[in-house]
Amino acid sequence: MDTKTILNFGSGPAKLPKPVLIQAQKELLDYNGLGISILEMSHRTSDFNQIINSAESLLRELLSIPANYKVLFMQGGGTGQFSAVALNLIGLKEDRCADYIVTGTWSAGAAKEAEKHGKVNVVHPKMDRYTGIPDSSSWSLNPSASYVYFCCNETVHGIEFNFIPDTKDVILVSDMSSNFLSRPVDVSKFGLIFAGAQKNVGCAGVTIVIVREDLLGKALKECPTILDYNVQAKNNSLHNTPPTYSIYIVKLVLEWIKNNGGTDAMNKLSKQKSSMIYDIINNSNGFYSCPIDVSCRSRMNIPFRIGNMEGDEALEREFLEGASKLGMISLKGHRSVGGVRASLYNAVTVEETQALATYMKEFLHKH
Ligand code: PLP
């Protein structure tokens, strides 16, 4: 029986590359001739060790991670890291304070969580709406902050940093959950990077943390062992049972990224795909509108309204229903902002993006 072709523009858990799913299916019942599934395999076996070690070395290769950084595979999602970052790093300096650049829902959530463990300074005036990145010349960074935190791509609003904030000597922490491995990153500029896997690098259940070694071992005493980076680093992320299957899927996705040209190729494709959609928005005479400043529009998540700047709900409903009939799913904007959102992570192909672009043009002509 033919399955209907589905074009998944969801924001996460998101589309996985087809070859990854095919390989996972092939290996599901019997991994590597062992007669058992990875789902049934102890995390203490040499076979699982090979999986986690090759996931780590692929990641090191893809991002040229310097030797003085640890790679951890953790649980608790991005939200778990909001706590883990503060619990591990806010005590780096006596004042126990941290600077947060708040450009959307996720960085706001991280700042709120950090407030439980120390003083949080939002470095710019509070924004009524998240539509851009406040000009860095207006930031008041605190030189005695333990770290400066930012979310590299705000998934809900579609705001992406295309520069690395200059924090002088204060260490920089970034949530890259929704643009991880979509472009090269100079890891040496960061104290810590984390990313939930379920958007660009795998399925839900595992969060990747890349952390500079000298920042380990400084966790607050109330930090739960499971969130302590030092404990995880010393145990090769195997302090307790890790999300074994999710780590295996990450390994497959990293292989796929490597075989498809690495982060440079992903970057090129991301620019190409996002331009296809933004070009239509920009040339639609206001029929489609994206509220985000042009300089920080996300290549990963493109939110837009239809009909007028506030969005004509009837038109948006018609758009989403029409898309769904064509097999294009998960285009509804986040419930907090409404409208439409197209997520174009690494696994979304140029052809799929083209299909969406064509539909957008047809919808525009119809109205
Ligand atoms: N950070 C970003 C940028 C996200 O997009 C999300 C979820 O979508 C999170 C953090 C929270 O991740 P989780 O749901 O894995 O806790």
Q: Is the pLDDT of residue 87 over 90?
A: yes
How high is the pLDDT of residue 36?
98
Q: Which of 79, 192, 194, 250 gets mutated to test ligand 1 (max ligand atoms within 8 A of its CB)?
A: 79
Place 3 in a pLDDT band, splitting at 50, 70 and 90. Answer: low
Instruction: Give the whole-angstrom CA distance, residue 220 versus residue 356.
Output: 48
- Position in ligand 1 atom list of the atom nearest CA 153: 3
Q: Is the pLDDT of residue 126 over 90?
A: no
Phi, psi values for residue 30, rounded to 5°: -145, 105
Instruction: Give the whole-angstrom CA distance, residue 131 versus residue 123.
Output: 17
**207-212 and 69-74 strand pairing:** antiparallel
What is the overall mean pLDDT for the chain? Answer: 97
Strand order across the 301-306 sheet: 288-289, 301-306, 340-343
How high is the pLDDT of residue 84?
98
How many angstroms separate the alpha carbon of residue 317 from the centre of ligand 1? 26
* pLDDT mean over 236-258: 98
- Using a 6 Å cutoff on CB, does residue 104 contact ligand 1? no
How high is the pLDDT of residue 128?
86
- Using a 6 Å cutoff on CB, does residue 306 contact ligand 1? no
How many angstroms separate the alpha carbon of residue 66 from the centre of ligand 1? 26
Q: Which of 106, 130, 182 gets mutated to test ligand 1 (max ligand atoms within 8 A of its CB)?
A: 106
- The 10 Å CB-count burial string (b at 16+, else e) for 255-275 is bbbeeeebbeebbebbeebbe
Please write the tens of the pLDDT for every residue from 29-51. Answer: 999 999 999 999 999 999 999 99
How high is the pLDDT of residue 2?
53
**pTM metric for this prediction:** 0.98
- Catalytic site positions: 106, 175, 199
Rg (C-alpha) for the chain, rounded Å, is 21
How many angstroms separate the alpha carbon of residue 177 from the centre of ligand 1? 6
* pLDDT mean over 336-349: 97
* pLDDT mean over 82-94: 97
Q: Which of 177, 179, 199, 299 gets mutated to test ligand 1 (max ligand atoms within 8 A of its CB)?
A: 177
How many angstroms separate the alpha carbon of residue 200 from the centre of ligand 1? 12
Please write the tens of the pLDDT for every residue from 102-124. Answer: 999 999 999 999 999 999 999 99
Q: Is the pLDDT of residue 250 over 90?
A: yes
Q: How far apart are the first and last CA of the chain?
A: 37
Q: Is the pLDDT of residue 4 over 80?
A: no
Place 1 in a pLDDT band, splitting at 50, 70 and 90. Answer: very low
Please write the tens of the pLDDT for every residue from 252-292. Answer: 999 999 999 999 999 999 999 999 999 999 999 999 999 99
